[in-house]
Structure 1
Amino acid sequence: MAGGVSGRLTRREVVGYGLGDMGFNFYWTNISTFLLIFYTDVFGISAAAAASMLFVVKIFNAFTDPLIGAAADRTRTRWGKFRPFLLFGPLPLAAVGVLAFCTPDLGPSGKLIWACGTYLLLMTTYTSVNLPYSALSGVLSGDARERNAINASRFVAGFAGGTVVTAASPRLVQWLGGGDPTLGWPLTMLFWGLAAAVIFAISFSTTTERVQPPQAQPASIWQDLADLRSNRPWILLFFLALIIMGSITLRMTSTAYYFKYVVNRPELLASFMPAYLLAAAAGTALTPLLTRFIDKRKLMIGLMLASTLLSGAFLLVPSDNITMMYALQIGLGLALGPKSPLSFAMLADSADYNEWRHGRRATGMTFAASSFAQKLGTALAVAVIGAIFSALGYVPNAAQSADSQAGIVWLMSVIPAAFTLMAAGLMVFYTLDNPTMARIQADLAARKRPPSP
């Protein structure tokens, strides 16, 4: 068990911590599923301009993650390192979330500047709360099985939150705005922001930070980064996060366009995304059971290969075969659901590995750099979408050309399948299997044990 651990994890903590990700998905699902189409079809920004802006902001915001992670690692309060961010960040985050979905009456350049500024502020504020929350999972417990339970609880709640958002947001926009999306979207985000703030307060009040860094650990940010550069398991997880997030963002962002312009059934989005998220929640819930019998590395490889086949099969589905679309979507949810708790448990393992190898622990920086990779993956996916839409002549709120429709289908199928295939190949080289981690955690526990009199 990792150093400085006292007390067993309680069920109340597992549930309380897990609920936090439901609150984050009140933001993330609205951003990943609806923000681009909000910019193009409600605010009136061109697809190329919106996608380019999202790409630039994501790249810039990714570089703030290590700074936030370093700040969290060096935070010292009576509540711990990471929990205070759940107490003081939610209300500013709610306010910025509303601003990002406002539509001031500006010219084309003014709209783009407004969107860029509010989106940058939203993502920076989101990260300042979400990143310490993610790092918190690495210090609640040093036990491998407890970490699997923590992260499974988190992502079950997260997928549940995403399911609720994809089903409810379009209806809330219509109801709160009285048919006017320019009014409905800010009010909808206000609703989700206040609901998330209540949930974050629950996560704060139910958790305890147990795993502590070594007392003599130096406080250099550059040393933290140097340690990560020599941490091969973490490097592999960095690229894994980039690739998987790219694949997921491609499909989630393209789904609204797929049903609006290819299937010509936009109302199905309200059940199609929840079908995926509910299946993903089921897959996530199975993760602790699966990891009892299958090593995390082997399980991740199998899941990525299954996702490749299921995603690629979307290319062959006729636009009127709704049943097959839903069947593949549910299969993808089951396959991709366990990847989130697995990858976050692996990140915690890589923090243990860093402490075992260097005698230093930087949990916040470890998770921050992974968040950096996820944002790069999201930026890459948005850039791909924008480039394809621009090349194929996408026109918002109009019938699409055959080429434009084909591009949307590829964004739902072959391109994300290529990403998950790369992820499977990457995990072949990951070395922190169960026996290795048992040895590392035993060594760490022995180092922290007081000397015999």
Structure 2
Amino acid sequence: MSTITDKLSVKEKIGYSLGDLAANLVFQTLVTYIVFFYTDVYKLSNASAQSVIFWCGIIGGVMFAPIMGAIADRTNTRWGKYRPWVLWTAIPFAICIFLTFSTPNFSESGKVIYAFGTYLLLVALYTANNLPYASLSGVLTGNMSERNSLSAYRFVAVMVAQFIIQVLLYPIILMVGDGDKAAGFEAVMSVFAVVGVICFVITFITTKERVVAPRDSESRLSDDVKDLFHNVPWLVMLGVVILVFVTLALKGGMYIYYFNNFVDEPALSGFLDDIGFNGFITWLTAFFGGMGFDFRWPDEPSASGFGLFNGGGILFMIVGIGLSKPLADRFGKRNIFGIFLVLSTLFVLAFVAFPPDAVGTMFISQILHGFFYGITIPLLWAMIADVADYSEWKNNRRATAIIFSAMILGLKGGLTIGSTIAAVILNSYGYDSDLNIQSESTVTGIKLAVSVYAAIPFFIAAASLFFYKINKTMENTIESELAARRIS
């Protein structure tokens, strides 16, 4: 049996990270656009969108995650426990991506039924694919430093997907659909579905499960569940993941409304002129036109501003990711995660003070938030892998997937709660997708959603880490003692 000292090749790290690229082309779209897609594109009522997002997320994500974790842990094939699920779910997942973002012309009740059915299948298949994929990181190697490195690779892939979705997707949708958002969504998501299948196949081919539980460590599901609820680090991380993804879904889903309804359009247009963006688009249009291509960038300042705003944050997130491993190796994951989560939250909260024309200040705050939050990103997944090791260390049994169900359960729960809160806020503050200018109350609600409401879960998540006892010293103890057990 392989030992805890296994090193991962660059090829395997890249191959594994492509799975996150594929999954996040979908996940980031859900975080950023699912509320907007249902309210402004498919034209569901605010209340219907709220119900679809909430119940599908609860059933297909939260409730199904621990079931899928137990199934994956008890899967035994010549390819391992977790790799096969990445392959088996690839094509069904792709089909559901296409169906979810299609807009058949049904009645209002027919649209709700269609949205509920397709979104439920998408969320369930995401769980069936991504939970084993996440668990795979815990069995590729038992070396905690290698896991930090693997996490850095995979979250560069996440940032690439996030850049594509949050910076380029909306303008591309408008261009591809020639102003028809429904046609644009359908075309672009079809491409993402195909790319996803290819990436998942590469992940399956290039990875290998090395950390294998001893035969005498096999346990009943009831034992695994009992262990979970006596595992304080697991309970803490479950709460942290839920809270983090509540904020990500809430602010991510509300930014498009923020730019469409709060940010002053003349000030935004002037800012785009000042930084040279409009001039660059004019040059790009002329360049492609001279080559015979009809390149037409959307002329709405909000679409360009929204993309650049997200892009600035993402680029500095990537810088932060690069600092994550050395900081975690020196000071421990828990300490670095908590400190930089708090710092990043301060720049989310700052948005409550910005007037509509303070465009430059908005961008600076987003960049600083992105940098500090980027340092925390790889650590979240690596800490879950550490919790799986902690469970094995304490109980002499390894149940990687059901441990990782905390991440998927929390991720889906957080996405569901955050997106539902966004829909509730829109409904409570009177948002009407048919109005060009929203009421003052609605605009205030949107502003609070991306600042005060979004900051609260981050602060609570950081505070809860006081109860997470896997510090740097314990990490080293767990790693060395498990290494000795696996060699013997």
The bucket for the TM-score relative to the shorter chain is: over 0.9
Residues 238-387 of structure 1: pairs in structure 2 closer than 5 A = 238-263=238-263, 264=265, 265-267=301-303, 268-387=305-424
Quote the residue 1:171 is aligned against.
Answer: 171
Quote the Cα distance in structure 1 between the aligned partners of 2:369 and 2:125. 31
The letter for the 2-side match of 1:184 is: G
Query: 1:183: how far off?
Result: 2.1
For residues 129-148 of structure 1, what are the structure 2 equivalents within 5 Å?
A: 129-148=129-148
1:110 aligns with 2:110: yes
- Specify the alignment match of 2:473 in structure 1: 435
How is 1:391-402 mapped onto 2 (pairs within 5 angstroms)? 391-398=428-435, 399-402=437-440
Q: Is the 8 A contact 2:139 2:209 kept in 1?
A: yes
Q: Tell me what 2:101 maps to.
A: 101
Partner of 1:22: 21
**What is the alpha-carbon distance in structure 2 between the residues aligned to residue 292 and residue 447 of structure 1?**
23
1:38 is matched by which residue type in structure 2? Answer: F
Task: State the one-letter code of the partner of 1:113.
Answer: I
User: Equivalents in 1 of 2:341, 2:172: separation in Å?
Assistant: 35
**AA in 2 matched with 1:349:** D
The amino acid of 2:482's aligned partner reads L
Q: Which residue does the alignment assign to 1:73? A: 73
The answer to whether the Cα contact below 8 Å between 2:2 and 2:210 also exists between their aligned partners in 1 is: no
Structure 1: distance between partners of 2:430 and 2:6: 60
SS in 2 for 1:435: helix
**Which residue of structure 1 lines up, in the alignment, with residue 43 of structure 2?**
44
Residue 4 of structure 1: CA displacement?
4.8
CA distance change for structure 1 residues 50 and 98 in 2, over 3 Å: closer, same or farther? Answer: same
AA aligned to 1:86 is V
Q: Distance in 1 between matches of 2:371 and 2:445?
A: 26
Structure 1 position 294, deviation (Å): 2.1
CA distance in 2 between counterparts of 1:307 and 1:3 reads: 39
Superposed displacement of residue 408, structure 1: 0.5
The question of whether the paired residues in 1 share the 8 Å contact of 2:151 and 2:382 is answered with yes
Secondary structure, aligned partner of 2:79: coil
Q: Which moved more, 1:306-315 or 1:172-181?
A: 172-181
Which residue of structure 1 aligns with residue 88 of structure 2?
88
Query: Partner residue of 1:34?
Result: 33
Q: Aligned residues, how many?
A: 449
Residues 316-351 of structure 1: CA distance to partner in whole angstroms, max 9, x if unpaired? 111111111111111111121232311111111111
Deviation at 1:259, TM superposition (A): 0.5
Separation (CA, whole Å) in 2 of partners of 1:330 and 1:221: 45
- The code of the aligned residue for 2:108 comes to P
**Which residue number in structure 1 is paired with residue 236 of structure 2?**
236
Q: 2-side partners of 1:5 and 1:295: how far apart? A: 19
The 8 Å contact of residues 157 and 281 in structure 1, kept in 2 or not, is answered as no
> Could you tell me how far apart the structure 1 residues matched to 2:422 and 2:252 are?
11
Aligned-partner Cα distance in 1 for 2:172–2:472: 46
Q: Distance between the aligned counterparts of 2:466 and 2:324, measured in 1?
A: 20
Matched residue, 2:268: none
Q: 2:487 aligns with which of 433, 442, 449?
A: 449
Q: Aligned residue for 2:63?
A: 63
Q: Distance in 2 between matches of 1:250 and 1:193?
A: 25
Bigger shift: 268-277 or 108-117?
268-277
Q: How far apart, CA to CA, are the structure 1 residues paired with 2:302 and 2:388?
A: 44
Percent identical among aligned pairs is 34
Could you say which residue in structure 1 is the equivalent of 2:9?
A: 10
Task: Note the alpha carbon deviations across 1:371-424, whole angstroms, 9 max, x for none.
Answer: 112222222222322222222111114111111101101111011211111111
Structure 2 residue 455 is the aligned partner of structure 1 residue 417: yes
TM-score by length of 1: 0.95
Residues 173 and 181 of structure 1 are in contact (CA less than 8 Å); yes or no, is this contact kept in structure 2?
A: yes
Q: Distance in 1 between matches of 2:182 and 2:338?
A: 44
Counterpart CA distance in 2 for 1:225 and 1:362 is 10
Opposite residue 69 of structure 2, the aligned amino acid is: G
d(CA) in 2 for partners of 1:182 and 1:430?
A: 45
Determine the C-alpha separation between the residues in 2 that align with 1:95 and 1:114: 14
1:190-210 CA-partner distances (Å, limit 9, x unpaired): 101111222222222221111
| Structure 1 ranges of 4+ moved more than 3 A | 2-7
Q: Which moved more, 1:309-318 or 1:331-340?
A: 331-340
Corresponding position: 1:200 with 2:200: yes
SS, match of residue 137 in structure 1: helix
What is the CA-CA distance between 1:184 and the residue it aligns to? 2.1
Distance apart, 1:166 and its partner CA: 2.4
Q: CA deviation at 1:117?
A: 0.8
Change (3 A) 1:55 1:288: same
CA distance in 2, matches of 1:85, 1:279: 33
Shift of 1:167: 2.9
8 Å Cα contact 2:245-2:415 kept in structure 1: yes
Q: Distance in 2 between matches of 1:386 and 1:419?
A: 17
SS of the aligned residue for 1:64 comes to helix
Using the TM superposition, name which of 235-244 and 13-22 deviates more. 13-22
